[in-house]
Every structure is written in structure tokens, then in C-alpha cells.
């Protein structure tokens, strides 16, 4: 009986463990979980903190008993301290116990990521939080209960920053979001960012863009956040959510050379450069299907897929990671904002001649009640007509997330923009149009590019 050890119990780790066991039930799988929360939905933390998810236990994708009944040995509060590839051993330590050595035939590293801690003086004091783990969220929840803050300031207007703005408004706090870039949600085009900023304002969120936070200090009972060019605001709670970085010290110590942003290089079988060691999830470089090259793109969806490939291959399979398309969606107040594929600057860097064209229409026939506007931005290659990416903004009930998935399918297959018009998509007046919004946007892109006009 062979033996698989998985370091990490979040998306990549659990997928690897479950899929390995499914693929070869005879394999002995041990999953090491650094905290007490295996397979929790980190993406759900904002909804726990908003109060919409009243009990944090609900955030468990699976209960511990479910994981164990799948035949996986779970060791909670157990950290991997060192990997010795030569002897195929991991030194581990369970909280309150002495370190011990465990042997592996195959190893999957799924150590994930941690929030980036920007070098801002004062970022470590009481009332200033990061938000990535269950423990982080307990810290915020406790502070919300005990200190009853009225004001919150969020540094970083990415996905988690905007979700937390929504969450804390939901709790009745006065919320300010501060972003270094010129527009919020820098993962989409500023043309959408400015509209999202307006939507935030409409929901009572103050937004400051182009601001670099330089200091956090106490001022009376408040926390005073200041930055350049000219920014100063007093608040009761600060969230620092400016992205994550891979946790790869263990891998480096084992002898692996780290790559982009310090992530672990892997091939498309999710194998590292060390024998019998795979890695997956937020700790690894991710193959980008459109770039044909690795990048760093930590997402739960990707971690699941990579974990599945790693787990299968660790038990003798022959799976290959198809690659990320950079597909993402976030709900902020009434809106969903989604993207997939490349934006202009990314496409240029990859050698394309991109053109991005925006189109706004209704999510379904306007004569049927409840139609919402949808804005679609399509990026395609002027020379070849190939679809390179799409961005979308609309009401969260306007199927934005699943419409971006239609584009993701198109990107997966390297379709041209014109080809998108050929596909037999569904239609009924309450839910779409004879040419769905994605196809109308594709048609509009073709017209604009054919006429030689800019986007």
C-alpha cells in the first residue's frame, strides 16, 4: 500500500486528497492541516463577517467527519516543519506535541498563501486586521463584537476589499475604501472601475483612489490612517487587504528554486522539480492557458483543479492541468463584476494586437419585467479575430457569472469572436435574447473592428 501525504487542508489539499483516494482507494492518505479548519470556504469570510452567514461552521465545504469517512487521515493543528526529499520524510509538529518524522511515497504541497503585509508603520497594532484565514476572521468578528466600531477603513479595493465594504455596510458601519490604483477593482478595466466606484458611493461607501497609505497611528480613541498625496482619515477598524503571496518556505528549504512572486514552479502534471513531490494551489506558479506560460494567479477554483490533477498523478494517474483563464467574479452590493482571459495590456505583453470594445444591452428582452443592463467588454485580436478576453458588469441577478463562463468556454477553445455568434445558445424572453448579450457584444466587436474605429 502506497502512502500519500498532503500538506494543507484548504482547496488544493482537499482536492488532492479526495481525488487520490477516489482514483486509488488502496492508497493511504494523510492530510496535514496547520489549523483546526480543514476545507473551509475562505471566500465565504466576508459573508460571515457581514452577518449573512450567522454561524461560521456553515463555511465548511465538508465536515471533518465527511473527509474522514472518505478514508483520509486528517491531522489538525499540525504543521510541516521540513521536507527531506532524499529520505522521503516530512518533519511535522502537532500543537503541544514533540516534532516527529513521517514518511511519504508521494507528497503534495498545498501550503497556500498569506496576505501581503505592506511595510506601513503601525500596521501591526490593535484594530488593524488582515483577512485570509478562519483565525483572521475570528479576530475581526471578535473586535466587531467587543469594540463595536462605527467606522471602518479598508486598504485595497480588490475583490476582498470590495466584498468587505459591502459586508461592513451590511452591518451598518461607515466604510471608506482606499486604493492605490487610479480606479477600484484594478483587475478589470478602469472604465468599469469608475462605474463600480459610483455604485460604492451610491451604497454609502467613501472611496479614495490614487492614495498610497503610509502610516497608521492612534489618535485619541481613533486609528488615524494617512497617506500621499494628501490623505488622512480617522477610523475605528482597519482592514489591510492588498493581495496575497505564496507560502513556499517549506518548498524552498527542501531544495526547490522559487519562481514568480516566490511561488513554487510546477509542470502541468503539478510535479515540482523534486522527485515524488507535487504542489498545487495558491503556493504554486499557475500555467495560464492563453499565455502558454506560468503566472501567479491564486484562486480557489484553480487550486481545486490543480489539487485534483496533483492527487490523481500522485497515485499513478496521467492528468494534466489545462491552465487558468483568469476567470473571476465578485458580487458587490447589487452588482456582479466578472472577467476572463486577457485585458489589453496583458494581451500586448503576450504579443497580440488587442482591441477592447464595450457594449451595453439588457440581460433579457426589455419587454419582460425586471430587465437589467449588462455591460460587456470584449477584447479580441485585430489581426486574427481571436477572442482574448471578456469583462462584464451588471446586476447580480443578471447571470453575469454564468455569461462570463460562456466566454471562458470560448477562450478554452481559442475561438474567434465571430465564432461566438455561431453557437446555439438558449433563449426565452424572461432570461435572454434571440442573440444572447454575449453574442450581441461579439457582433458589436466585429462591427467596430471591421469599421476600423477604436473601442
Using alpha carbons, select from 133, 117, 113, 126 the residue that is nearest to residue 213.
117
The x, y and z cell numbers of residue 192, run together, are 468599469
DSSP 3-state helix, strand, coil percentages of the chain (rounded to 5)?
30, 30, 40
Please identify, using beta-carbon distances, which residue of 82 and 366 lies nearer to its own copies: 366
Least Å distance, CB 100 to its own copies, is: 32
Go through 218-247 and write b for each residue having 16 or more CB atoms within 10 A of its CB, e for each that does not.
eeeeebbbbbeeebebebbbbbbbbbbbbb
Interface with its own copies: number of residues (CB under 8 A): 69
Closest separation in Å from C-beta 362 to its own copies: 12
Minimum gap (Å) between residue 453 Cβ and its own copies: 15
Q: Is residue 188 within 8 Å of residue 179, measured between CB atoms?
A: no
Task: List the one residue from 207, 239, 329, 388 that touches its own copies (CB under 8 A).
Answer: 329
**In terms of CB distance, is 41 or 111 closer to its own copies?**
41
Distance CA 237, CA 216 (A): 11
C-alpha cell at 15: 482536492
Task: Give the C-alpha distances (Å, rounded to integers) separating 125 from 119, 174, 228, 236, 438.
Answer: 13, 21, 21, 12, 47
Nearest residue to 433 (alpha-carbon basis) of 346, 368, 352, 375: 368
Q: Considering only 95-103, 143-151, 223-231, 329-337, which stretch makes contact with its own copies by CB under 8 A?
A: 329-337
- Nearer to its own copies (CB atom), residue 12 or residue 120: 12
Bridge partners of 226, per DSSP, are 215, 232
Contact characters 46-65, its own copies, x per CB under 8 A? -x----xx----xx-x----
Q: How far is the CB of 208 from its own copies (least distance, A)?
A: 25
Least CB distance to its own copies at residue 92 (A) = 27
CB 108 within 8 A of CB 97: no
Contact between residue 374 and residue 431 where contact means Cβ atoms under 8 Å apart = no
Least separation, in Å, of the C-beta of 349 and its own copies? Answer: 19
The single residue among 338, 374, 393, 449 that binds its own copies, judged by CB under 8 A, is 338
Q: Please identify which residue in 3, 28, 35, 43 interacts with its own copies, judged by CB under 8 A.
A: 43
- How far is the C-alpha of 52 from the C-alpha of 171, rounded, in Å? 10
| Residues in 268-327 that interact with its own copies by CB under 8 A | 289, 299-302, 304-305, 308, 322-327
Q: Which is nearer to its own copies, 212 or 268 (CB)?
A: 268
Instruction: Please give the full DSSP string across 10-43, using - where no structure is assigned.
Output: SHHHHHHHHHHHHH-TTSEEEEE-SSS-TTB-GG
Pattern of binders to its own copies over 205-244, x per CB under 8 A?
Answer: ----------------------------------------
> At closest approach, how far in Å is the CB of 271 from its own copies?
18
Rg (CA), the chain: 23
Q: Cβ closer to its own copies: 11 or 208?
A: 11
In whole angstroms, the minimum distance from the beta carbon of 43 to its own copies comes to: 5
For residues 80 and 329, which CB has a smaller minimum distance to its own copies in the complex? 329
Q: How many CB atoms lie within 10 A of CB 358?
A: 18
Question: Smallest gap, in angstroms, from Cβ of residue 385 to its own copies?
Answer: 14
Considering the complex, what minimum distance in angstroms separates the CB of residue 216 from its own copies? 29
Cell 460571515 belongs to residue: 48
Residues with Cβ < 8 Å from 286, sequence gap 6 or more? Answer: 263, 294, 295, 296, 297, 298, 302, 306, 323, 324
- Looking at the Cβ atoms of 265 and 300, the one nearer to its own copies is 300
Distance (Å, whole) CA 291 – CA 303:
19
Query: 132 vs 403, which CB is nearer to its own copies?
Result: 403
Residues linked to residue 8 through DSSP beta bridges, in sequence order: none
Nearer to its own copies (CB atom), residue 316 or residue 430: 430
The interface with its own copies within residues 426-455 (CB under 8 A) comprises: 426-432, 434-436, 447
Least distance in Å: CB of 275 to its own copies?
A: 26
Binding to its own copies (CB under 8 A) within 362-421 occurs at 365-369, 396-397, 399-406, 408-410, 412-413, 419, 421
Interaction site with its own copies (CB under 8 A): 11, 22, 41, 43-44, 47, 52-53, 58-59, 61, 289, 299-302, 304-305, 308, 322-331, 336, 338, 340, 365-369, 396-397, 399-406, 408-410, 412-413, 419, 421-432, 434-436, 447
Amino acid at each position: 500500500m502506497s502512502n500519500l501525504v498532503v500538506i494543507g487542508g484548504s482547496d488544493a489539499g482537499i482536492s488532492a486528497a479526495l481525488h487520490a483516494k477516489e482514483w486509488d482507494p488502496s492508497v493511504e492518505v494523510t492530510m496535514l492541516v496547520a489549523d483546526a479548519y480543514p476545507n473551509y470556504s475562505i471566500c465565504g469570510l466576508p459573508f460571515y463577517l457581514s452577518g449573512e452567514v450567522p454561524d461560521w461552521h456553515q463555511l465548511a465545504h465538508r465536515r471533518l467527519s465527511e473527509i474522514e469517512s472518505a478514508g483520509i487521515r486528517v491531522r489538525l493543528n499540525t504543521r510541516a516543519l521540513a521536507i527531506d526529499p532524499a529520505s522521503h520524510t516530512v518533519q511535522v509538529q502537532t500543537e503541544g506535541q514533540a516534532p516527529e518524522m513521517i514518511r511519504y511515497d508521494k507528497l503534495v504541497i498545498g501550503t497556500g498563501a498569506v496576505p501581503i503585509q505592506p511595510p506601513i508603520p503601525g500596521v501591526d497594532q490593535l484594530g488593524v486586521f488582515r483577512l485570509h484565514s478562519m483565525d483572521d476572521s475570528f479576530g475581526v468578528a471578535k473586535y466587531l463584537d467587543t469594540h463595536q466600531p462605527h467606522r471602518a477603513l479598508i486598504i485595497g479595493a480588490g475583490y476582498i476589499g470590495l466584498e468587505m465594504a459591502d459586508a461592513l455596510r451590511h452591518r451598518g458601519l461607515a466604510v471608506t475604501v482606499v486604493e492605490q490604483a487610479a480606479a477600484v477593482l484594478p483587475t478589470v478595466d478602469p472604465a468599469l472601475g469608475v462605474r463600480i466606484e459610483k455604485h460604492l458611493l451610491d451604497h454609502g461607501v467613501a472611496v479614495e483612489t490614487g492614495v498610497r497609505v503610509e502610516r497608521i497611528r492612534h489618535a485619541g480613541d481613533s486609528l488615524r490612517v494617512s497617506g500621499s498625496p494628501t490623505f488622512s482619515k480617522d477610523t475605528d477598524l482597519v482592514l489591510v487587504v492588498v493581495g496575497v503571496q505564496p507560502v513556499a518556505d517549506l518548498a524552498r528549504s527542501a531544495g526547490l528554486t522559487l519562481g514568480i512572486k516566490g511561488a513554487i514552479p510546477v509542470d502541468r502534471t503539478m510535479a515540482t522539480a523534486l522527485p515524488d513531490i507535487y504542489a498545487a494551489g495558491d503556493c504554486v506558479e499557475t500555467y495560464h492557458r492563453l499565455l502558454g506560460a506560468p503566472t501567479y494567479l491564486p484562486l480557489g477554483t484553480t487550486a481545486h483543479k490543480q489539487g485534483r490533477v496533483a492527487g490523481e498523478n500522485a497515485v499513478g494517474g496521467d492528468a494534466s492541468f489545462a491552465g487558468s483563464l483568469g476567470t473571476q467574479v465578485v458580487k458587490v452590493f447589487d452588482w456582479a463584476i466578472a472577467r476572463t482571459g486577457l485585458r489589453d495590456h496583458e494581451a500586448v505583453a503576450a504579443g497580440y494586437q488587442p482591441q477592447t470594445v464595450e457594449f451595453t444591452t439588457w440581460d433579457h428582452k426589455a419587454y419582460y419585467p425586471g430587465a437589467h443592463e449588462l455591460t460587456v467588454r470584449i477584447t479580441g485580436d485585430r489581426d486574427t479575430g481571436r477572442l482574448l478576453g471578456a469583462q462584464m458588469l451588471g446586476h447580480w441577478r443578471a447571470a453575469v457569472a454564468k455569461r462570463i463562463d460562456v466566454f471562458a468556454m470560448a477562450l478554452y477553445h481559442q475561438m474567434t469572436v465571430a465564432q461566438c455568434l455561431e453557437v446555439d445558445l438558449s433563449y426565452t424572453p424572461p432570461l435572454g435574447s434571440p442573440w444572447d448579450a454575449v453574442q450581441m457584444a461579439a457582433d458589436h466587436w466585429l462591427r467596430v473592428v471591421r469599421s476600423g474605429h477604436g473601442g
